[in-house]
Chains A and B, each alone.
Chain A
Amino acid sequence: GQQLNQSPQSMFIQEGEDVSMNCTSSSIFNTWLWYKQDPGEGPVLLIALYKAGELTSNGRLTAQFGITRKDSFLNISASIPSDVGIYFCAGQLRLTGGGNKLTFGTGTQLKVEL
């Protein structure tokens, strides 16, 4: 199946540093999402973007929905140890019945050094 290209694949940063990751697709999506997955758990939604060009913040997280609707980026400011995990972007398509279907990116593994 289709996957979104996400970069970087992994990051090893120091506590307090800012982090940036991005996601690109050959297809247009009407919603972009960013999830975080902790070890042994399922992905948890961090931020949702619903309009092309939209810039949304959630605490230390900031994400943007690209104008072409084919890309998105996520920034984490002032990283802390609990930011460790795998971050996934996901493109969402609405289904006719009112649900949605997700296509996930390849993931970015974030490691934070104290």
Chain B
Amino acid sequence: DAGVIQSPRHEVTEMGQEVTLRCKPISGHDYLFWYRQTMMRGLELLIYFNNNVPIDDSGMPEDRFSAKMPNASFSTLKIQPSEPRDSAVYFCASIKGGLPYNEQFFGPGTRLTVL
């Protein structure tokens, strides 16, 4: 299996621009998570989906952030407009629910820099 795939790996943009981060979960996994990692706040859960439906978006910082999962194999995290404080590494993770012992598998992350 290819694992969780994220693109782009690096993104540099200017303040005010729209940014779209992409994630392909592991095939067969029915949960997808978006995390943000910064030095100040560590790893934070932003939102997660179950069977393509957003379940808990309480971690989304503000209305500038939105996430979608149009099908089981693709999700996007969009920031519009972007601000310098959004600079962070964004991770996507997936898991297959319903198993006695299940592990979240993380993608390699997208390093976002907003100038």
Chain A contact residues, CB within 8 Å of chain B: 1, 3, 40-45, 48, 50, 88, 95, 97-107
Contact of A42 among B59, B103, B107 (CB under 8 A): B107
A106 to B98, CA, bound (A): 28
Q: How many pairs, one residue from A and one from B, have CB atoms within 8 Å of each other in the complex?
A: 67
A105 to B56, CA, bound (A): 20
How near does chain B come to A44, taking the closest CB pair, in angstroms? 7
Number of interface residues of B (CB under 8 A): 30
CB closest residue in chain B, given A6? B42
A41 pairs with B95, CB closer than 8 A: no
How near does chain A come to B106, taking the closest CB pair, in angstroms? 3
A97 to B98, CA, bound (A): 7
B109 pairs with A42, CB closer than 8 A: yes
Q: Which residues of B contact A43 (CB under 8 A)?
A: 43, 91, 106
Q: Which residues of B contact A41 (CB under 8 A)?
A: 108-109
**Would you give 22 A-B contacts (Cβ < 8 Å), ordered by A?**
A40-B109, A41-B109, A42-B93, A42-B109, A44-B106, A45-B104, A48-B101, A48-B103, A88-B42, A88-B43, A95-B31, A95-B50, A97-B50, A97-B55, A98-B98, A99-B31, A100-B104, A101-B48, A102-B104, A104-B43, A107-B42, A107-B43
Q: Which residues of A contact B44 (CB under 8 A)?
A: 1, 104
B43 pairs with A98, CB closer than 8 A: no
CB closest residue in chain B, given A44? B106
How near does chain B come to A87, taking the closest CB pair, in angstroms? 12
How near does chain B come to A82, taking the closest CB pair, in angstroms? 18
A100 to B42, CA, bound (A): 19
A95 pairs with B97, CB closer than 8 A: yes
Interface residue B102 (Cβ < 8 Å from any Cβ of A): yes
